Each structure stands twice: as C-alpha cells, then as structure tokens.
Amino acid sequence: MTTTAKLRGGVLLRGVGKSYGTGDATVHALRDVDLDVEPGELAVVLGPSGSGKTTLLNVIGGIEAADHGRIRVAGRELTGQAPGSLSGFRRRHVGFVFQFFNLIATLTARENIEVVAELTGRGDRGRASELLAAVGLADRADAFPAQLSGGEQQRVALARALVTDPDLLLADEPTGSLDMATGRTILRLLQDTNREGLGVLMVTHNAAVAAMAHRVVTMRDGRVQSVVRQEAPVDAERVNW
Ligand SMILES: Nc1ncnc2c1ncn2[C@@H]1O[C@H](COP(=O)(O)OP(=O)(O)OP(=O)(O)O)[C@@H](O)[C@H]1O
Ligand SMILES: [Mg+2]
C-alpha cells in the first residue's frame, strides 16, 4: 500500500443478522456478524457453500437490507436508510462483481460497461476501452455476453464494477471460472486498484488467494468464524492454485 494513496472503502458491521423464509423453513444466512475492514484494505472472505458469503456482500453493498444490526460502509451509516437512499449510496460508492455476472444480454461488452458509467453519472464512458484492455479483452469489446466464455463475462463484470471509480469493490468469486494465468491477471488488476486506495472485499473458494489479503475472514454457518490480519500480503503473481 502506498502512503500517498487516499485509503477508501472501510466496512464496519455490528450484530448483523439476516434470515430468509419463515417458521421451520427459516434459513439464518447471517447470525450476529461483527466485521471490521479498514479503509484501503484488501479482504478475502472464505467459507463453505451456503455459509453466508454472498449474503454478507449483499448487505454490505445495500442490495439487501439486514434484519438487524449496524452497517457502516465508506464512512456512511446504512442502518435504517430508505431503499431509495441505499441505491443512491450504492451507485456512488460501491462496485459489485456478482457471482453470476449479471451482464445485460442485449448489450455488447463495451456497452455493458458504458451503460453503468452513464446511468450512475460517474466514471468516464471512454474508460470502457481502457478497462477492457486491462482485463485482456480489448479485441472482444463488440461481442455480446452469449458470445463470451464464462471467464470472459466475468472479466467484463469486473471492468464494469470499476468504471465508476468506487470506494469499495465487492467481488463474489471474481476468479471462479478462470484458468490460473487469466485469474492472475484479474488478481493483479484488483491488487493494483487496491494499492491506489480502493477497499476490496473478495469472496473466493480458493484459499490460496487469501495470501494476497490484508485480512482473511472465514465464514461458517452464517457466522464469522475467524479473522486473520496479514502484515505482508504477497503479490498477485505469487498466488498459486
Ligand atoms: N433468496 C434466498 N432465499 C432463501 N434462502 C436463501 C436466499 N439466498 C441465500 N439463501 C440461503 O442462505 C444461506 C447463505 O447463502 P449464501 O448465498 O450467502 O451462501 P454462500 O456462502 O455465498 O454460498 P456459495 O459459496 O454456494 O455461493 C444458504 O443456506 C442459502 O440457501
Ligand atoms: Mg455465494
């Protein structure tokens, strides 16, 4: 982390709970979660399938409301905010890479990125080309999602999340369907962006990726099982899987 970068995108959760369903069918996706991620940190969230990782990202990003507890993101208290105000906050401050990409099928790769810059009034439309090049897709800018592989769609989704220059990037399995070489390119981009001060919270099934984190959060059964601070995160190139 450079000392000149403005460190952004801190996260604070206290006693956060979120359930789905009612009665016998109730699933406690998050149970009393406390979490601190300092501004400018790159945090990795590990944990088995169903342990609450995606739910955690969704409540931090304001996509879903928590049932109870306190959530503070990038210096802003989300608790008790009206839905409209939450989406305004999200557009201005948070970039999201979804587990299942959520690209718009009728728009090309470039247009998927440009439309976010336009809708949010943030970011520079012209930056779409630059970001597509950064994720190794300069020559696929005019392809539609259906013409792209899963890994290519995922890279477009990352470029889209960065076009608004968010304070915090929430990324759900951003290297999930990538081979090691392409995965490293993505991790390098995430680490470079993080070193410019952007906070990153990345979910992964790949424990090796945790080596590049400042903070490793392990979830189990909707709870934070452990949090480990790492003083010397490794460079993205040194992550092996
Ligand atoms: N919309 C929903 N309705 C009902 N249950 C849900 C919903 N979303 C998630 N759940 C349940 O909440 C729990 C946590 O889900 P979540 O998606 O957060 O897990 P995850 O750790 O991201 O898993 P994975 O690694 O498979 O993506 C699971 O038991 C899941 O079935
Ligand atoms: Mg998930």
What integer pLDDT is reported at residue 82 of this predicted model?
Answer: 78
From the alpha carbon of 57, which atom of ligand 1 is closest?
18
Domain count, the chain: 1
Residue of 217, 241, 169, 207 whose CA lies nearest to 52: 217
What integer pLDDT is reported at residue 29 of this predicted model?
Answer: 98
Residue nearest atom 19 of ligand 1, based on CA coordinates: 50
Q: Does some domain include residue 2?
A: no
Q: Does some domain include residue 119?
A: yes
Residue of 127, 138, 208, 184 whose CA lies nearest to 161: 127
Q: Does some domain include residue 118?
A: yes
Query: How many residues comprise the chain?
Result: 241
What lines the ligand 1 site, CB under 6 Å? 20-21, 27, 29, 47, 49-55, 99
From the alpha carbon of 47, which atom of ligand 1 is closest?
21
Low-confidence spans in the chain with pLDDT less than 70: 1-3
Q: Does some domain include residue 135?
A: yes
Residue nearest atom 27 of ligand 1, based on CA coordinates: 49
**For the domain that residue 114 is a member of, what is the CATH number?**
3.40.50.300
Q: How far apart are CA 38 and CA 23, in angstroms?
A: 37
Residue nearest atom 24 of ligand 1, based on CA coordinates: 49
Q: Does some domain include residue 208?
A: yes
